[in-house]
Chain A
Amino acid sequence: MPERNYDMVKKALNCPVTRRQVLKSLVAAGVLVAVPGGLMRAATSSDKINYDEIFYEGPYETFRNACPRNCYDTCSIVTYVKDGAVQFVEGAPESTFTDGGLCVKGNSYWNTTYSPDRVKYPMLQESRGSGNWKRISWDEALDRIAKKILEIKDKDGSLLGLALSKYSGNFGITNYGVEGMMSSLGYTTRFVGTPCWPAGIDAQNYDMGNMWCNDPEDFAKSKYIILWGVNPAWCSVHSMKYLFDAQDKGAKVLAIDPVFTQTSAKADEYWQVKTGEDGALALGMARHLLDKNMVDREFVNTHSVGFNEFEEYLKNEITVEWAAEKSGIPAAVIASTAEEFATAKPATIWIGYGLQRHVNGGVTVRSIDALVAMTGNVGKEGGGARYGHLQTWGFNYHALVQKQPKGSKGFSGTTGPKGEFAPELEETKFSDRTLNINKTARGLLEADNPPIRMLWVSCKNPVSQDFDLNLMKKAFKKPEMVVVVEKFFTQTAELADILLPVTTNLEEWTVNASYWHYWLGLNEQAVKPLYESKSNIEIAAALSQKMNELSPGSCTFPTEIDTKEWMIKEFNKGIYDLFGLKSWEDLKKGPHKAKLTSTAAWHDHKFATPSGKYEFLSELAAKHGHNALPKYKANRKPYAPLRLLTPHSKFNIHSQFQNLDWMHDFNPEPYVYVHPKTAADKGIAEGDRVLVFSKVGEVKVKAKLTDNVPRDALLMYEAWYNKNNFNVQNVVDDESSDMGKYKTGAPGVAIHDQFADVKKA
């Protein structure tokens, strides 16, 4: 692009103009280069386009996209393109799950893509954290990066000093090419595990041998639904219609949550459970069912092991009164609800990810699984202990699986990184060094021999989203070089030396599956990458080219790739058969749903445990240092007067979306939510600026008073506001949850076992 065009773009994007003028300027500047077909003609006659009046006016060229965020719903998108620019997006009508509509976040993808705040070019920060950025060329950026990698290899004899921090910022399958890029350089250091759901994954693996949930579209078949620690009205809006449909057909919906959520308001009944005592509640219900002889003996005798031991434990150590005392829910209510749940056929529990982010989170999930199993609801359509699944993720992981260069030295000892989405890798002489993703700050500070000299961050925003921000900021000072691949100038980007602009999901080819529903969606390149942005795999290819230029053979990643071809390489016969596809191109006509023999997980009662049965008693769990039975485990001991909850907001997925000006229109600032009586005790009034503080740090924020939160808790929604330094990670630590190491390589994080206090600022 000629220099004058850059100036025009800069002018267009940095001036306070209307969004419509942005589009007009982009067309004029030739930024919106032609996409296939007749759009070329339209783009060249841009002087006739009146962008001051944007309204629906066909015909549009449409593209298939998918929302790649870490979200239950993984929506299928139709992108409407005209004159080489995205005009608007809609939910794909072919998916009965997405059902033609997106959410508040998905509807802002135009704003994401054309945001004036995007990282547009490779940038160099003169001194980390100084804000003294200058634009550099891709060649210079890659030259600096490649030379640093070669220097590390020269110094240490391995690349273990190069670490990767990546998680769920973009779940498009080809983005596993970032891990592939690391492997193609050598054996490196990986932050493994997940901050999201690992304790529950392990729990379901001990109980059933895998994490596998019913098709959420079969909620409508349920007669009794418990939404346990889950807020789909905010975090899975497309599931709500099935819950409403079930209610319309007479099903009862019970929401159990420490917080009165939007989902609670839609339920028939709400229980304000004491935070972290969900396991006690489930065990109390189980005990009552024993007393009433309401156990599904046919299921437990035929399809399970260890029920006698579980029964003995319940009889000896659990009473309904004890459960009431622990959970705060009256014994009579626990008893009558247990009976209703056991009587309704089918009945189901949706187990949220929040309730396993505790030091007793894994065993809590096991207790709830047990309640569903002993009532005979596992393996039933409309039943099930629903947590998540990876049944539709059987891709080739072609981008992920790359060979180390010949002669690479690595870590000897373990078998390399694990991840819930990654396939098992072959054991080799050397492996990557693995560090706990949930203790990234400590890993950066403490890893030695060699220390972490260089950090590569992609699809993750650890400085905004990881725990104990003060420690993280300290840790980010340590590496000799930090490279961040980003769309926006996030808090992590602020601590980069080199910042590389990445594409949005509307600018790249990939394919997306869900860990909740059973639809598969194609993600086409609807528009060419804006500015100088590249997709993760294009960045890997460009780096490989530079590496091989400087040191032939130092990187095995292909130096030229076609991103569409790489998307195609992810498909295989298994995927085609599962979804009834002749070719990936069938997905151009719309998303496809897996051909399920039943909507129920474990419908044949053939469990994947060592015994092949449902394991109330898991020897594997015992081998891993847990109780073999789902025995009650005490919660974390409080270290401050109030509990601190930092769950998800409806306006963002972690640090994505809240920074957009469209989102700011609807949610301009953060708050801490305080119970009116707690506020009165502290002399805090509605709207006061307050200080939330803990042993870790502090946050200044305005207060809203509501009895939606319990009296003994404070609540702040985690988010990244780009114009506000609010960050809940200032006041939470990185305490581990009980489970997660078995299937994801590291325990989870007890992010809801946190404590703080509040006072007027």
Chain B
Amino acid sequence: MKKQIAFFVDTRRCIGCFTCAMACKNQYHQPSGVKWRDVHPMSEEIYPHRECAHLTLACNHCEKPTCLEVCPVVAYYKRDEDGVVVHEQEKCIGCGNCIRSCPYGAPKYNPALKKAEKCSFCWQRLDADREPACVQACPTRALQMVDLSNFDEPDTVQYIAGFPRFTKLNPSIRFRPPRQPLEIRRK
């Protein structure tokens, strides 16, 4: 398999602290309301304690990205060397095709620039030998960058409960499901 970098979200270690999401704003200064990464509490049907287990999600840098297929001006490309899906904002005409088509909601509309934008996997940082801002910032090493061509962490899944299953896109993301403590509650 070719090198494909991906986000690995270990929800056992994730504490839902939003550091990753804020680290993205710290790096890119998106305007209010524009978030390339966000932290989503799992629904109580999936994890019974409200807002105590989370999925941190950004662009999944899919093997077959919809955004790339639907863009009329070829503002997207997938990097050969690591599979990162790059959006070239200067080419973007703000038509919104990618925003409407991505089932994971990764591309966002920047109302100030009237263009789309999304998680870049911090490819400029990668090229400067640095981890993506969100991965670097994670205080529990719950969010990691991995290479799927040699990823063999145990107890992991591609489609965790609550994460939409779009097998044709083959999203480059892996999860480790959360655990629950033994509870002693008052009567």
List the interface of chain A (C-beta within 8 A of B). Answer: 17-21, 23, 52-58, 88-91, 99-105, 107-111, 233-234, 237-238, 240-241, 244, 255, 260-274, 328-330, 333, 650-651, 661-667, 704, 706-708, 710
Q: Provide the residues of chain B in CB contact with A107, threshold 8 Å.
A: 19, 22-23, 25-26, 137
Instruction: Specify which of A101, A104, A105, A665 is in contact with B33 (CB 8 Å cutoff).
Output: A665
What 1/0 mask marks residues of chain B from 32 to 55 whose CB sits below 8 Å from any chain A CB? 110100110000000001111100
Q: Give the residue among B32, B38, B124 with the most A Cβ atoms within 10 A.
A: B32
- Whether B137 pairs with A101 at a CB distance below 8 angstroms is yes
Q: Please name 20 pairs of A and B residues whose Cβ atoms are closer than 8 Å in the assembled complex, sorted by A.
A: A56-B130, A88-B27, A99-B139, A101-B137, A102-B19, A103-B17, A107-B19, A108-B22, A234-B15, A237-B139, A240-B15, A241-B139, A261-B52, A262-B16, A263-B15, A265-B49, A270-B181, A329-B186, A665-B25, A665-B32
- Whether A90 pairs with B136 at a CB distance below 8 angstroms is yes
- Whether A260 pairs with B52 at a CB distance below 8 angstroms is yes
Apart from A18-B113, A328-B187, A662-B25, what 9 extra A-B contacts exist at CB < 8 Å? A56-B128, A104-B18, A108-B22, A109-B26, A241-B141, A264-B181, A272-B185, A272-B186, A666-B39
- Whether A269 pairs with B181 at a CB distance below 8 angstroms is yes
B1 at the interface (CB under 8 A from A): no
- Whether A88 pairs with B140 at a CB distance below 8 angstroms is no
Give the Cβ gap from A684 to chain B, nearest Cβ, in Å: 16
CA distance A662 to B89 in the complex (A): 22
Give the Cβ gap from B155 to chain A, nearest Cβ, in Å: 13
Give the Cβ gap from A537 to chain B, nearest Cβ, in Å: 28
Among all A-B residue pairs, the 7 with the closest Cβ atoms: A328-B186, A265-B52, A107-B22, A19-B29, A233-B15, A706-B50, A18-B112
A to B contact number (C-beta, < 8 Å): 173
- Whether A19 pairs with B186 at a CB distance below 8 angstroms is no
CA distance A651 to B133 in the complex (A): 19
Give the Cβ gap from B63 to chain A, nearest Cβ, in Å: 24
CA distance A99 to B140 in the complex (A): 10
Which residue of chain A has the shortest Cβ distance to B89 in the bound complex?
A53
Q: Provide the residues of chain A in CB contact with B180, threshold 8 Å.
A: 265
Give the Cβ gap from B26 to chain A, nearest Cβ, in Å: 4
Q: Provide the residues of chain A in CB contact with B182, threshold 8 Å.
A: 268-270
Q: Provide the residues of chain A in CB contact with B21, threshold 8 Å.
A: 104, 666
Q: Provide the residues of chain B in CB contact with A328, threshold 8 Å.
A: 186-187
Known: A55-B124, A244-B140, A330-B184. A708 touches B26 (CB 8 A): no
Q: Provide the residues of chain A in CB contact with B181, threshold 8 Å.
A: 255, 264-270
What 1/0 mask marks residues of chain B from 105 to 117 whose CB sits below 8 Å from any chain A CB? 0000010110000
Mostly, the B contact residues are loop
B31 at the interface (CB under 8 A from A): yes
Give the Cβ gap from A178 to chain B, nearest Cβ, in Å: 29
Which residue of chain A has the shortest Cβ distance to B35 in the bound complex?
A665
Q: Provide the residues of chain A in CB contact with B138, threshold 8 Å.
A: 101
- Whether A102 pairs with B137 at a CB distance below 8 angstroms is yes
Q: Provide the residues of chain A in CB contact with B124, threshold 8 Å.
A: 55-57
Q: Provide the residues of chain B in CB contact with A255, threshold 8 Å.
A: 181
Give the Cβ gap from A337 to chain B, nearest Cβ, in Å: 9
Q: Provide the residues of chain B in CB contact with A53, threshold 8 Å.
A: 89-90
CA distance A108 to B19 in the complex (A): 10
B152 at the interface (CB under 8 A from A): no
Give the Cβ gap from A455 to chain B, nearest Cβ, in Å: 35
Q: Provide the residues of chain B in CB contact with A271, threshold 8 Å.
A: 184
- Whether A260 pairs with B112 at a CB distance below 8 angstroms is no
- Whether A329 pairs with B184 at a CB distance below 8 angstroms is yes
B122 at the interface (CB under 8 A from A): yes
Q: Provide the residues of chain B in CB contact with A90, threshold 8 Å.
A: 136-137
Q: Provide the residues of chain B in CB contact with A269, threshold 8 Å.
A: 181-184
B177 at the interface (CB under 8 A from A): no
B28 at the interface (CB under 8 A from A): yes
Which residue of chain B has the shortest Cβ distance to A90 in the bound complex?
B136
CA distance A89 to B102 in the complex (A): 31
B94 at the interface (CB under 8 A from A): no
Q: Provide the residues of chain A in CB contact with B140, threshold 8 Å.
A: 237, 240-241, 244
- Whether B29 pairs with A23 at a CB distance below 8 angstroms is yes
- Whether A101 pairs with B15 at a CB distance below 8 angstroms is no
Which residue of chain A has the shortest Cβ distance to B30 in the bound complex?
A19
- Whether B113 pairs with A52 at a CB distance below 8 angstroms is yes
B178 at the interface (CB under 8 A from A): yes
Known: A241-B139, A268-B181. A20 touches B19 (CB 8 A): no
CA distance A240 to B181 in the complex (A): 16
Instruction: Specify which of B32, B39, B89, B183 is in contact with A272 (CB 8 Å cutoff).
Output: B183
- Whether A56 pairs with B52 at a CB distance below 8 angstroms is no
Q: Provide the residues of chain A in CB contact with B38, threshold 8 Å.
A: 666
B125 at the interface (CB under 8 A from A): yes
Give the Cβ gap from A644 to chain B, nearest Cβ, in Å: 18
- Whether A108 pairs with B26 at a CB distance below 8 angstroms is yes
Give the Cβ gap from A719 to chain B, nearest Cβ, in Å: 14
Instruction: Specify which of A100, A263, A650, A667 is in contact with B136 (CB 8 Å cutoff).
Output: A100
Q: Provide the residues of chain B in CB contact with A265, threshold 8 Å.
A: 49, 52-53, 178, 180-181
Give the Cβ gap from B88 to chain A, nearest Cβ, in Å: 10
Give the Cβ gap from B86 to chain A, nearest Cβ, in Å: 11
Which residue of chain B has the shortest Cβ distance to A231 in the bound complex?
B15
CA distance A532 to B135 in the complex (A): 37
- Whether A21 pairs with B112 at a CB distance below 8 angstroms is yes
- Whether B139 pairs with A103 at a CB distance below 8 angstroms is yes
Instruction: Specify which of A56, A88, A266, A651 is in contact with B18 (CB 8 Å cutoff).
Output: A651
CA distance A105 to B180 in the complex (A): 27
Q: Provide the residues of chain B in CB contact with A270, threshold 8 Å.
A: 181-184
- Whether A101 pairs with B19 at a CB distance below 8 angstroms is yes
Q: Provide the residues of chain B in CB contact with A19, threshold 8 Å.
A: 29-31
Give the Cβ gap from B43 to chain A, nearest Cβ, in Å: 12
CA distance A270 to B120 in the complex (A): 39
Known: A19-B29, A54-B28, A708-B49. A234 touches B17 (CB 8 A): yes
Q: Give the residue among A18, A21, A271, A651 with the most B Cβ atoms within 10 A.
A: A18
Q: Provide the residues of chain B in CB contact with A664, threshold 8 Å.
A: 32
- Whether A274 pairs with B125 at a CB distance below 8 angstroms is no
B13 at the interface (CB under 8 A from A): yes
- Whether B32 pairs with A262 at a CB distance below 8 angstroms is no
Which residue of chain B has the shortest Cβ distance to A709 in the bound complex?
B50
Q: Provide the residues of chain B in CB contact with A333, threshold 8 Å.
A: 184
CA distance A677 to B170 in the complex (A): 43
Q: Provide the residues of chain B in CB contact with A23, threshold 8 Å.
A: 29
CA distance A141 to B22 in the complex (A): 37
- Whether A110 pairs with B29 at a CB distance below 8 angstroms is yes
Known: A17-B112, A57-B124, A662-B22. A101 touches B136 (CB 8 A): yes
Give the Cβ gap from B143 to chain A, nearest Cβ, in Å: 10
Q: Provide the residues of chain A in CB contact with B25, threshold 8 Å.
A: 107-108, 111, 662, 665
CA distance A23 to B30 in the complex (A): 12
- Whether A88 pairs with B184 at a CB distance below 8 angstroms is no
- Whether B22 pairs with A233 at a CB distance below 8 angstroms is no
Q: Provide the residues of chain B in CB contact with A650, threshold 8 Å.
A: 16-18
Which residues of B70-114 have CB atoms within 8 Å of chain A's CB atoms? 89-90, 110, 112-113
- Whether A55 pairs with B17 at a CB distance below 8 angstroms is no
- Whether A110 pairs with B26 at a CB distance below 8 angstroms is yes
- Whether A233 pairs with B17 at a CB distance below 8 angstroms is yes
CA distance A55 to B126 in the complex (A): 11
Q: Provide the residues of chain B in CB contact with A237, threshold 8 Å.
A: 15, 17, 19, 139-140
Which residue of chain B has the shortest Cβ distance to A100 in the bound complex?
B136
Which residue of chain A has the shortest Cβ distance to B25 in the bound complex?
A662
CA distance A316 to B180 in the complex (A): 39
Q: Provide the residues of chain A in CB contact with B128, threshold 8 Å.
A: 56, 58
CA distance A268 to B178 in the complex (A): 12
Which residue of chain A has the shortest Cβ distance to B17 in the bound complex?
A237
Q: Provide the residues of chain A in CB contact with B51, threshold 8 Å.
A: 262, 706, 708
CA distance A538 to B141 in the complex (A): 41
Q: Provide the residues of chain B in CB contact with A260, threshold 8 Å.
A: 49, 52, 183
Which residues of B134-185 have CB atoms within 8 Å of chain A's CB atoms? 136-141, 178, 180-185
Give the Cβ gap from B14 to chain A, nearest Cβ, in Å: 9
